[in-house]
Chain A
Amino acid sequence: MTRRRAEGAGRLTRLALLTAIALTIFMVEAQLPAAPIPGVKLGLANIVTVYAVFVLGPRDALMILCARVFLGAVFSGQMSTLWYSAAGGLLSWCVLCLLRRVLTQKQLWLSSPVAGVFHNLGQLLAAAAMLGTWAVLAYLPYLVLAGMLAGLFTGLAAQALVGRMEKLRK
């Protein structure tokens, strides 16, 4: 594992760049047609989150995540979705931080499906709190499966990204 700690302007630039990439992916994905089950999507922007947690560390990843979630809600014009994304994003970030301790960087792809499941769980709990009913939990099994598949996809993409970036540094 080669990790170079960037400080000051270098770190700021890298954070800004990754936030911009995540936000762009997020906005492009928002243009795709919605899945038949409400709340289900690929969550491609999480490729950046997974990469950041494992390579840059939890703190930097959290900053990128918060900026992306907030700006994503602003740019998509749907502030009402902010709380769902925030709840899902923060819960999956917590899980990624835990998994970072037990998994190696070669197994990074495995952490993403778990994060995906918890992302959807967080969203669903936010919806349950917002609607004041547990009825929405009937969606949980669908969202667990969807989060797992979407997470597997973003995880493999993040794994490929780590591999490419290492080649780039050599």
Chain B
Amino acid sequence: MSRNGKIVLMLLLAAAGISLAVIAMQREEIADPVARISRDGVVLKEIPLDQVGRAYSFVLEDELGSNTILVERGRIRVSQADCPDQVCVDQGWISDGTAPIVCLPHKLVIEIVGGGEAFDAAAG
């Protein structure tokens, strides 16, 4: 293989290695997880998941459509959505920083962020 081919191959392997390392880091548990729900870049709600008592659900609705959010202690999911692809519903529960729930048609993002002192200060 030529030099250029080798360089491209090395770059690919490096990118794969970095990605695997990042995934491993994301999987680490977050202390005091907070679910941050935002739409179109605006934060709508922040729910400290460790402080959830009984499971509850609520509906987020706007002109683009509606999503039903289900919250339990330590985890959150979208249980119903009126979009055609249902990607956010199929994703199920999230409880760590692995991957946020994203509803592209409704511009809705639910991500888990670390809580702790920084969050308390911001909320207070």
Contacts and interface: CB of A to CB of B under 8 A. Distances in A.
A24 B61 CA distance: 37
A111 B117 CA distance: 47
B20 interface: yes
Contacts, number: 94
B49 to A, nearest CB: 16
Contact of B99 (A37, A78, A80, A117): A37
B2 A131 contact: no
A144 B8 CA distance: 15
B87 A34 contact: yes
B17 to A, nearest CB: 10
Contact of B107 (A38, A107, A130, A138): A130
B12 A138 contact: no
Range of interface residues on A (Cβ < 8 Å): 20 to 34
A107 B1 contact: yes
A145 interface: yes
Contact of A138 (B1, B90, B98): B98
Interface of A: 34, 36-38, 78, 80, 84, 99, 102-104, 107, 110-111, 113-114, 117, 127, 130-133, 135-136, 138-142, 144-145, 148
Interface of B: 1-2, 4-5, 7-9, 11-12, 15-16, 18-20, 22-23, 26, 36, 38, 40-42, 84-85, 87, 90-91, 97-100, 102, 104-105, 107, 109, 111
20 contacts: A34-B87, A34-B90, A36-B90, A37-B99, A38-B91, A78-B84, A102-B8, A110-B5, A110-B12, A127-B102, A131-B41, A132-B40, A132-B42, A132-B107, A135-B38, A138-B98, A139-B102, A140-B22, A141-B19, A141-B26
